[in-house]
Amino acid sequence: MLDQDGLSAPSCHVHYDVVEHHWPETLDNANILGHKFVICPWTGDAQRQSPDGYKRAAELFNKAGEGSRKAGIQFGYHNHFWEFIPALVPGGQLPYDFLLEATNPVNAKMELDLCGITVAGKDPLAYFRKYPDRFALARERPE
């Protein structure tokens, strides 16, 4: 239907469970649809409350990103406000900062939700400056 109507689907969101349990077939489907990016939009509530939850997420995102890169697709993570609130993460970092530091920049990009980061009282431009290679879906505004 996309081809018939001259449309493209450059990216999609898939649930954490899909990344964890159905990744190879998701990448196959993404290639069929022509996705360039597959984004995980959140981790589960219970996982965010676990001391090792974000560590497990980072490990999964690194693995998923490596597999997607081999398939010619970029993996990414979409934040919400709660990644900018102190939580149970290794080293006492903000969860988002931990995910940025614990994932490979080549394999895991970030889709920065400007509403989420702003609601949490953080500066999105500071993140763009600090991690210029992590936001593949962000584009400069033309002059």
Distance, in Å, from the CA atom of 35 to the CA atom of 54, rounded to the nearest integer, reads 26
Residue 89 in this model has a pLDDT that exceeds 70: yes
* 64 part of a folded domain: yes
Number of domains in the chain: 1
Alpha helices in the chain (DSSP H): 16-21, 23-33, 45-48, 53-70, 95-102, 114-119, 124-130
CATH number at residue 100: 3.20.20.150
DSSP tally for the chain: helices H, then strands E: 7, 4
* 72 part of a folded domain: yes
Per-residue pLDDT tens digits for 43-62: 888 888 877 899 999 999 99
Distance, in Å, from the CA atom of 64 to the CA atom of 56, rounded to the nearest integer, reads 12
Residue 40 in this model has a pLDDT that exceeds 50: yes
Amino acid 142: pLDDT: 43
Are 94 and 85 spatial neighbours (Cβ–Cβ below 8 Å)? yes
Domain range for 105: 11-130
Query: Quick one: angle between helices 53-70 and 95-102, nearest 10?
Result: 40
